[in-house]
Amino acid sequence: MDEVDFENEGNFEVIVGNDGENGENGDGDELDPTEERETEQDEHLKFECCYSTAISSVAGNSSSSGDKHYDITHGSYVASKNEIFYHTFMLNNVGEENQFDLIGGNDNEGDTSGPSKTEDLEIRMDLTDDLLHMVFSFLDHLNLCRAAIVCRQWRSASAHEDFWRCLNFENRNISVEQFEDMCRRYPNATEVNVSGTPAIQLLVMKAVYSLRNLEVLSLGKGVLGEVFFHSLADCHVLRRLNVNDATLGNGIQEISVNHDRLRHLQLTKCRMMRISIRCPQLETLSLKRSTMAQAALNCPLLHELDIGACHKLSDAAIRSAAISCTQLESLDMSNCSCVSDETLREIAGHCGNLRALDASYCPNISLESVSLPMLTVLKLDNCEGITSASMAAIALSTMLEVLELDNCGLLTSVSLELPRLQNIRLVHCRKFVELNLRSIVLSSIMVSNCPLLQRINLTSSSLQKLSLQKQESLNQLALQCQSLQEVDLTDCESLTNSICDVFNDGGGCPMLKSLILANCESLTAVQFSSTSLTSLSLDGCRAITSLDLNCPNLEKVSLDGCDHLERAEFFPVGLRSLNLGICPKLNVLGIEAPNMELLELKGCGVLSEASINCPLLTSLDASFCSQLKDDCLSATTASCSKIVSLILMSCPSVGSDGLYSLSSLQHLTVLDLSYTFLTNLQPVYDSCVKLKVLKLQACKYLNDSSLEPLYKEGALPALEELDLSYGTLCQSAIEELLSCCTHLTHVSLNGCVNMHDLIWDCSTGTSVTSTMLSLEIEGPEAVELPNRLLQNLNCVGCQSIKKVHIPPAARCCHLSSLNLSLSYYLKEVDLACLNLCFLNLSNCNSLEVLKLDCPRLTSLFLQNCNIDEAAVEVAISKCSMLETLDVRFCPKICAMSMGRLRGACLSLKRIFSSLSHA
């Protein structure tokens, strides 16, 4: 197989290996001895390299792979910026039949019978040359090189001169001989780039004399003598010349560029003394960052001139060069610090078609008596002479579309009425106070970091987005913007309540959708009445005490940080959800929201008056609304009949009357009355017949008989989840509940001080204490209870529990999670639960006996338990699906026990131990 050596970029070499044996070539044909001798003698002339990189933008071709190197030997990519891709070809004295064989493109390696020629012929028959040429016209140079190694036909097609019009050797160590070979191979090339190559002048002279169709020439990073510029006249079709970072001449002489057809000339970062350019067809000229002191231009058709950062050009030299080009349309004189108003006046008088002017970083210009009526783009960044008086001259440019005034330190105000102005920039103008703009097509405005800006008046029919962030002094804003949709006034600390009038209906912004007033700390009373507003942010407006929104299409409002809000009225709004729990001082609330589904008042501890009219509301969280009374709750339930979830945790003012009003909530399934002062639950039983979740955490005033309707009368038949954590109900009430309410799926008894041993009787399945074991029902009166639906049982921190026993007869076939953690005095656990998956006995310090018959248990937590390793080993031996075992901080289980535990339960995947990690 052939190899191509790409290691040394400066010494290209193609190494051809012979796959055949006994003098056979790659196709299996024997080589003639004479041909072999010719091959050895002319080895250094056998190939010439075709070099190419990704086509530059000048050529107009795309090259997605121009920054990669393709290693043909290994068929892989190696990242390398501007790497050259190599494509090998035979010299003209090599026969066409043997070309493909000699470069190693054998279709059938090792086959000496000759089928490769047949296969190659079949390939040619499958894809005609014309069709292949059309397909290859879509490939960049990298893929052309890859295609060349497929077969002889593809190699020949990929080498077609149509695909190699651009020869790019930028920053490559190419020799003069190699470059001559390239020029001879592709005499019709139209573009050459030899920037950064050695012997640059020799190479470019070869290109000028060899390539008669050369249109684009790029070079640089070297020395170009006068002979090169004289020879340009012989390159008749040259259209573009690019020279970058080069020394022109000997540094003393004048450089002359004379060409009758040259249209684009770029001499950037070049070192020279004087330059004379006579190009009657020249259209664009760039001398950016070059060091000449004089520039004589004879270019009557020039319409674009860039002399930016030409620091050695005097004011007179700039004036002379510019006014000699009467057709000039674009002039870049940025960073030419010596330019004066006189020069601008002369340019304005001679260049009547000037449309784009960049005079940035020109401190001596003030535009005094300067009139440029045809200007469309004006850039005056960092011009210290630009003041408010300069606006009179700018106002004369009635065609102006783009205006940039960044860092104009003496500018105090801008007042302009320009009918075509589309874009304006005012950034870091430290003395800027007032902006007045009238332009019906104004579409973009950037005003930033102007610390003294106080007043803005804008009139536009096209402006859609306005951002005035961090204008700390801004206190007056007037807008007549018919298309404005987004406004961001973040951190405009001086804005007062009058800003609301700007964005209300009739205020000049009829299409406004999004308004951000975040951290506008001077706002105290906000009142908006807008039919278009959909999003409002008042985050961080800490001084607001009153909020009144009449925005029927408002879908989003953010009030984070409105800590002092006392009164809020939403009549009407289009909100779907609202969180007012972050407003701890809210006292009066009124909401009319026909689309609202979720309302959070959690934490509104002083809320005493609330009018809530939300017919689609499904969730209301009024946790910690300690002042919320029965009359308010009754009014809310009457107008919000679709509530499904109602959270009244820590609402001590809610009593029986309020709870009876819940009867109007026909869809109520979740009710949280935790931390209230309820004494009985009869209003709940009567009003909430469809309740599925009832939370009564820390309801310490409930009497022991309050649960009797649940287990004696069948109240709340749909109830599935009951939370009695931290309550004071007696043991018998708890036992009756667990015994009779078999339809419960989730029960929480965390922290119940009266919760004693949990033992289900073997014959009846009832839950009893150890003293009741002798009261088992026997004989024909024994009733077989149905299977319990209990899935989750939580008894965390029940200090009185000493024993838990759930036998198979208890019918807890659905129990999947049991949490007994922090039960300090628990000594014995005996479980036989078919579907138990999760068991937590962590911090049960007294645990000694553990019996488990739980075949589906996957997680067992025994942190900080006093149980020994033998008991654990026996317990987990019947848990064939156990995956996670946590025995951290168990003093009786040592690190050596991990192997025994794994042996007792082969399904274990994770054992957590404080001594070792398994």
- Structure confidence by residue, pLDDT tens digits, 45-56: 333 333 333 333
Cβ within 8 Å of residue 11, ≥6 positions away: none
Q: Is the pLDDT of residue 96 over 60?
A: no
Domain count, the chain: 3
Q: Which pLDDT score, from 0 to 100, does residue 92 have?
A: 32
CB atoms within 10 A of CB 262: 24
694-709 per-position pLDDT tens digit: 999 999 999 889 999 9
Average pLDDT over residues 479-486: 96
Contact in structure between 38 and 24 (CB atoms under 8 Å): no
Does the pLDDT value for residue 143 go beyond 50? yes
Query: Has residue 75 got a pLDDT over 50?
Result: no
Across 200-298, the runs of DSSP E, i.e. the strands, are 216-220, 223-224, 240-244, 247-248, 254-258, 264-268, 274-278, 284-286, 294-298
Render the burial of 80-118: b for 16+ CB within 10 Å, e for the rest.
Answer: eeebbbbbbbbeeebeeebbbbbbbbbbbeebbeeebbe
pLDDT at 220 over 60: yes
- In three-state secondary structure terms, 499 is helix
Q: Enumerate long-range contacts of 425-430, CB under 8 Å, 24 or more apart.
A: 426/450, 429/405, 429/453
Give domain status of residue 471, yes or no.
yes
Final residue before a domain boundary, out of 554, 585, 614: 554
* Residues in CB range of 157: below 8 A, 6 or more apart: 129, 132, 133, 136, 147
- pLDDT for position 16: 33
577 has pLDDT over 80: yes
Tell me the average pLDDT across 848-854. Answer: 94
Give me the half-sphere count of Cα atoms (radius 13 Å) on the Cβ side of residue 211: 32
pLDDT of residue 834: 92
- Specify the pLDDT at position 785: 55
Range from 6-10, 118-122, 823-827 carrying the lowest mean pLDDT? 6-10
In one letter, which amino acid is 506?
G
pLDDT above 90 as % of the chain:
66
Any domain includes 442: no
Write down the pLDDT at residue 244. Answer: 96
pTM, two decimals, is: 0.74
DSSP 560-591: TT-TT--EEEEEEE--SEEE-TT-TT--EEEE
Q: What is the pLDDT of residue 784?
A: 52
Whole-angstrom distance, CA of residue 148 vs CA of residue 153: 8
Those residues with Cβ within 8 angstroms of residue 96's Cβ, 6 or more apart along the chain or in another chain: none
DSSP 8-class letter at 293: S
Mean predicted lDDT score pLDDT of the chain: 84
Do the beta carbons of residue 327 and residue 303 sit within 8 Å?
A: yes
Residue 709 vs residues 691, 733, 736, 771: alpha-carbon distances, Å: 14, 11, 11, 26
pLDDT (0 to 100) of residue 72? 31
Report residue 277 as tokens: 């350019």
CA 694, 700, 703, 706: dihedral to nearest 10 degrees? Answer: 0
**Greater model confidence, 770 or 227:** 227
What 3-state class would DSSP assign to 757?
Answer: coil
CA–CA dist 381, 373 (Å, integer): 20
Enumerate residues 6+ apart whose C-beta is below 8 A from 790: 742, 744, 745, 746, 747, 812, 814, 815
Tell whether 627 is covered by a domain. Answer: no
- 606 exposed, middle or buried (CB, 10 Å; 0-12, 13-18, 19+)? middle
Q: 38 vs 773, which has greater pLDDT?
A: 38
Per-residue model confidence as pLDDT tens digits over 361-397? 999 999 999 999 999 999 999 999 999 999 999 999 9
Residue 840 lies in a domain: yes
List the beta bridge partners of residue 434: 413, 455
Class of residue 79 by CB neighbours under 10 A (exposed 0-12, middle 13-18, buried 19+)? exposed
Contact 409, 380 (CB under 8 A): no
Residue tagged 């530059």 (tokens): 56
- The average pLDDT across 128-148 equals 85
Task: Please state whether 650 falls in left (phi above 0), alpha (psi between -120 and 50) or beta.
Answer: left
Distance of CA 501 to the CA centre of its chain: 36
Q: What does the pLDDT look like over 114-130, one tens digit per residue?
A: 444 444 444 444 578 88
* DSSP β-bridge partners for residue 450: none
| Matching residue, tokens 């703009």 | 437
Residues 114, 20: Cα–Cα separation, whole Å: 12
Residue type, 656: S
In a domain, 723, yes or no: no
Whether 879 and 900 have beta carbons less than 8 Å apart is answered as no
Q: What is the pLDDT of residues 870-879, one digit of tens each?
A: 999 999 999 9
Bridge partners of 332? 306, 358
Residue 901, phi then psi, degrees to nearest 5: -65, -40
Residue ending a domain, among 163, 182, 214, is 163
Q: Residue 706 has what DSSP assignment?
A: G
Which DSSP letter does residue 309 get?
A: T
Percent above pLDDT 70 for the chain: 83
Q: Please state the rounded mean pLDDT for residues 498-523.
A: 95
- Type and span of the H or E element at 414: strand 413-417
On whether residue 412 sits in a domain, the answer given is no
Does residue 883 contact residue 862 with C-beta atoms inside 8 Å? no
Q: Is residue 561 part of a domain?
A: no
Per the structure block, which two tokens stand in for 222?
């070297």
Cβ pair 912, 889 in contact under 8 A: no
Residue 353, burial from CB neighbour count under 10 angstroms (0-12, 13-18, 19+):
exposed
Tokens of 526: 């906000």
Give CA–CA dist 198/545, Å, rounded.
75
Average pLDDT for 86-115: 37
Residue 488 domain flag: yes
SS3 content of the chain, % helix, strand, coil (to 5): 20, 25, 55
Res. 775 pLDDT band, cuts 50 70 90? very low
Nearest to 87 by CA among 186, 18, 195, 235: 186
| pLDDT class of 691 with cuts at 50, 70, 90 | very high
**Checking DSSP bridges between strand 85-90 and strand 216-220, what pairing results, if any?**
unpaired
Domain range for 545: 464-554
Examine the fold and report which residue of 512, 527, 554 is the final residue of a domain before the chain moves on. 554
Amino acid identity, residue 874?
V
CB atoms within 10 A of CB 18: 14
Kindly tell me if the per-residue pLDDT of 509 is higher than 50.
Answer: yes
Straight-line distance from the first to the last Cα atom of the chain, in angstroms, rounded to the nearest whole number: 52
How much is the pLDDT for 405? 97
Length of the chain: 918
Alpha carbon 382 to its chain centroid, in Å, reads 34
How many distinct helices (H) and strands (E) make up the chain?
20, 57
Of 472-481, 543-552, 773-782, least confident by mean pLDDT is 773-782
